[in-house]
């Protein structure tokens, strides 16, 4: 694992914690000398009450789904996103022709601009429910060059996918192959003092880039959301750009 942790190619894939921060603080990422991107930082508008609320509010959610977003939320350009075409009932699709990937996300989530992330979609009522994609250059050609799913999973969740202050546990790490390309899927939990997030990540390499998609939900909503979140990660596909 020393080679994995010290690899310059892997460090280029390191990016700011994918989790939305329930308290709305700006969280600055560490700077890596070999990184080609500027350090990531972002502000997620969400109170601790919103993060801990177990009540769904359908009326408000329906209004947000048709575009009445909080003024503080900055929408990304829709040039590479198809909001209208539902590829699966209850889901909308993202097609990024420039970076060469596609995935689906639950209807009602909103796309927001977060520096350092290639795409982010989230539920503005349940701030821990989101999906974010990061795309960073790499010299590697196959994710397996970094090691096994278990090896990479342990490193990523401790050093990248969760803040150092959170206690993390890798639940499962698996590999699948689609059209000759290897994908690693990670399931893990990250415990903060006032909440626990149950998350899924999928990672792969293609087009000279290291792709990471991470999605998740508050642990108390995992049973309700897990099928949708699995659909998100299983839909993530990289194609030649």
Residue 96 has pLDDT above 50, yes or no: yes
Residue 150 has pLDDT above 70, yes or no: yes
What the chain holds in terms of domains, given with CATH numbers, is 2-238 (3.40.1000.10)
Residue 98 has pLDDT above 70, yes or no: yes
Res 87: pLDDT: 62
Q: CA angle, 231 as apex, 229 and 233 as ends, to 5°?
A: 75
Res 80: pLDDT: 40
When the pLDDT of each residue in the chain is averaged and rounded to a whole number, the result is 75
How do residues 175-214 score in pLDDT, each as one tens digit?
A: 999 999 999 999 999 999 999 999 999 999 999 999 999 9
Question: What is this structure's pTM?
Answer: 0.69
């Amino acid at each position: 694992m020393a080679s994995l942790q010290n690899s310059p190619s892997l460090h280029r894939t390191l990016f700011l914690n994918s989790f939305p921060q329930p308290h709305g603080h700006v969280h600055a990422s560490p700077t890596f000398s070999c990184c080609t991107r500027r350090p990531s930082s972002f502000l997620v508008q969400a109170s601790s009450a919103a993060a801990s609320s177990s009540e769904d509010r359908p009326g408000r959610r329906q209004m947000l789904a048709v575009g009445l977003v909080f003024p503080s939320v900055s929408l990304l350009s829709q040039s590479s996103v198809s909001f209208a075409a539902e590829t699966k009932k209850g889901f909308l699709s993202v097609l990024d022709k420039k970076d060469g990937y596609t995935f689906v996300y639950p209807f009602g989530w909103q796309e927001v601009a977060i520096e350092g992330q290639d795409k982010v979609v989230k539920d503005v009522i349940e701030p821990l429910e989101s999906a974010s994609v990061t795309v960073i250059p790499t010299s590697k050609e196959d994710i397996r060059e970094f090691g096994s799913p278990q090896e990479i999973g342990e490193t990523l969740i401790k050093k990248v996918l969760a803040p150092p202050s959170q206690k993390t546990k890798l639940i499962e790490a698996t590999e699948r192959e689609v059209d000759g390309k290897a994908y690693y899927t990670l399931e893990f939990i990250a415990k903060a003092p006032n909440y626990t997030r149950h998350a899924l990540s999928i990672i792969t390499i293609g087009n000279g880039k290291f792709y990471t998609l991470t999605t998740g939900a508050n642990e108390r909503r995992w049973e309700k959301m897990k099928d949708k979140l699995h659909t998100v990660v299983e839909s993530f596909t990289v194609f030649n750009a």
